[in-house]
């Protein structure tokens, strides 16, 4: 049965996403609150000051997410954790009773708050506190029941596609649409922490846009801000980027996250790139260029020496110099052989009235 049509663009709390709208920037707090409400609130403050459109957390419980028999992740060992993964995640899980207060704090700071639910209860709890969107993590893209639960909310959904094949993305969209969801964005993602730039495959964003007809963007786990800035130039319409108050803090996601100053630089850089992209049309000088540079800094025909009125102009009488409000250099052959109508001094800017 054909999947019902998905929206080519939508809004999150009135903010357009997709099409020609500015990139929707999600500051991903994740687990970097360290289970400290004060840090969680400060993360919201940092995201708001940086100019992000939304701040995002994660809602899970370690035991319901992982089997107790799951082998240890190497990247957890690399950051010095020897706890089983379900215990590690339980220790850093966001207390769900915080949700309502964090939503209100974000609203007071003028930034949207939403989260990634990892179970059906989390979906219900996030809907109850009034989040304007939901995010699906890459690893959950194969959990079609969870995807259907999010689709049934009719909220905009942002789906990370780390490690996903075309068929898995197609299955995910079918599950969402089959449950009534129609507003979906897809994020290209590399599921390593940190992710090396060479596996990011930013051009897959264009492939997903063509294949699925929905807004596309990037969930970025590289260090620094170079990769997401480059992605904006390639048409990124949404960005999710992990941030922290301090990379030296203890926890699995702090080491590859960006710090507050970098987040501000990232948002500012994205907005500058958006201004720089332009229309793509070749329209000559901009209004600002035309005010001075077009006339004064281009080249035109200049007298190489004094030329008396009535003299037939030769090539040796002419030189090409700045400024540019004289006869254009391409017309030099039409000037050679004409008679000077007036006395022309060396270095005069030659105009048609003079010849």
Tokens of 225: 């801000």
Cis peptide bond prior to 4, omega within 30° of 0? no
Q: Which fold has domain 287-354?
A: Type Iii Antifreeze Protein Isoform Hplc 12 (3.90.1210)
Residue 4 confidence (pLDDT): 74
Whether residue 135 contacts residue 147, with contact meaning beta carbons closer than 8 Å, is answered with: no
Cα 233 → chain centroid: 9
Are both 10-277 and 287-354 of the same fold? no
Any idea which of 89-93, 175-179, 211-215, 325-329 has the lowest mean pLDDT?
89-93
- Whole-angstrom Cα distance, residue 95 to residue 38? 13
**Residue 51 CB-density burial (10 A; 0-12 exposed, 13-18 middle, 19+ buried):** middle
Q: How far apart are CA 336 and CA 110, in angstroms?
A: 67
SS (H, E, C) 277-304: HCCCCCCCCCHHHHCCHHHHCCCEEEEC
- Is 80 exceeded by the pLDDT of residue 226? yes
Q: Which residues pair with 302 in a beta bridge?
A: 319, 349
SS3 assignment, position 27: strand
Q: Across the chain, what does the average pLDDT equal?
A: 94
pLDDT tens digits, residue range 160-207?
Answer: 999 999 999 999 999 999 999 999 999 999 999 999 999 999 999 999
**pLDDT over 70 at 97, yes or no:** yes
286-306 pLDDT, tens digit each: 999 999 999 999 999 999 999
Q: How far is CA 68 from the centre of its chain?
A: 37
Neighbour count for residue 318 (Cβ, 10 Å): 20
Q: Beta partners for 112?
A: 54
Count of C-beta atoms within a 10 Å radius of residue 296: 11
pLDDT at res. 79: 53
Under DSSP, is residue 156 helix (H, G, I), strand (E, B) or coil? coil
| Cis ω before 82 (30° cut-off from 0) | no
Instruction: Provide the residue ranges of all domains of the chain, joining segments of one domain with +.
Output: 10-277, 287-354
Give 53's contacts (C-beta < 8 A, 6+ positions apart).
12, 15, 24, 25, 26, 111, 112
Residue 325 makes CB contacts below 8 A (sequence gap 6+) with 295, 296, 300, 349
pLDDT at 63 (0 to 100): 76
Instruction: Tell me, yes or no, if the pTM score tops 0.85.
Output: yes
Q: Is the pLDDT of residue 143 over 60?
A: yes
pLDDT band at 252 (very low <50, low <70, confident <90, very high): confident
Task: Provide the pLDDT for residue 73.
Answer: 62
Strand partners, 56: 28, 114
Tokens of 12: 């999150």
Q: What is the pLDDT of residue 77?
A: 55
CATH assignment of 10-277? 3.20.20.70
């Amino acid at each position: 049965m054909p999947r019902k049509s998905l929206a080519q663009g939508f809004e999150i709390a009135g903010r357009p996403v997709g099409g020609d709208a500015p990139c929707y920037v999600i500051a991903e707090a994740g687990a970097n609150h360290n289970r400290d409400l004060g840090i969680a609130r400060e993360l919201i403050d940092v995201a708001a000051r940086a100019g992000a459109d939304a701040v995002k957390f994660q809602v899970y419980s370690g035991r319901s997410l992982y089997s107790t028999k799951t082998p240890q992740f190497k990247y957890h060992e690399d950051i010095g954790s020897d706890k089983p993964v379900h215990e590690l995640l339980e220790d850093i899980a966001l207390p769900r009773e915080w949700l309502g207060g964090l939503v209100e704090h974000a609203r007071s700071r003028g930034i949207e708050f939403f989260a990634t639910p990892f179970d059906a209860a989390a979906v219900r709890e996030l809907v109850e506190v009034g989040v304007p969107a939901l995010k699906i993590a890459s690893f959950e893209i194969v959990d079609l029941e969870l995807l259907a639960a999010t689709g049934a909310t009719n909220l905009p959904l942002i789906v990370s596609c780390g490690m996903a094949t075309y068929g898995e993305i197609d299955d995910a969209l079918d599950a969402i649409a089959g449950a009534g969801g129609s507003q979906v964005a897809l994020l290209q993602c590399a599921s390593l922490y940190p992710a090396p730039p060479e596996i990011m495959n930013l051009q897959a964003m264009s492939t997903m846009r063509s294949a699925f007809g929905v807004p596309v963007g990037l969930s970025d786990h590289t260090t620094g801000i170079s990769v997401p800035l480059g992605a904006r130039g390639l048409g990124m319409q949404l960005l999710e980027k992990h941030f922290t108050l301090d990379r030296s803090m203890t926890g699995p996601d702090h080491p590859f996250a960006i710090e507050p100053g970098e987040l501000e630089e990232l948002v500012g850089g994205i907005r500058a790139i958006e201004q720089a992209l332009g229309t793509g049309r070749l329209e000559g000088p901009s209004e600002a260029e035309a005010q001075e540079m077009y006339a004064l800094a281009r080249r035109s025909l200049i007298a190489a020496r004094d030329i008396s009125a009535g003299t037939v102009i030769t090539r040796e009488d002419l030189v090409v110099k700045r400024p540019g409000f004289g006869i254009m250099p391409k017309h030099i052959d039409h000037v050679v052989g004409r008679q000077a109508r007036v006395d022309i001094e060396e270095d005069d800017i030659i105009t048609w009235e003079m010849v």
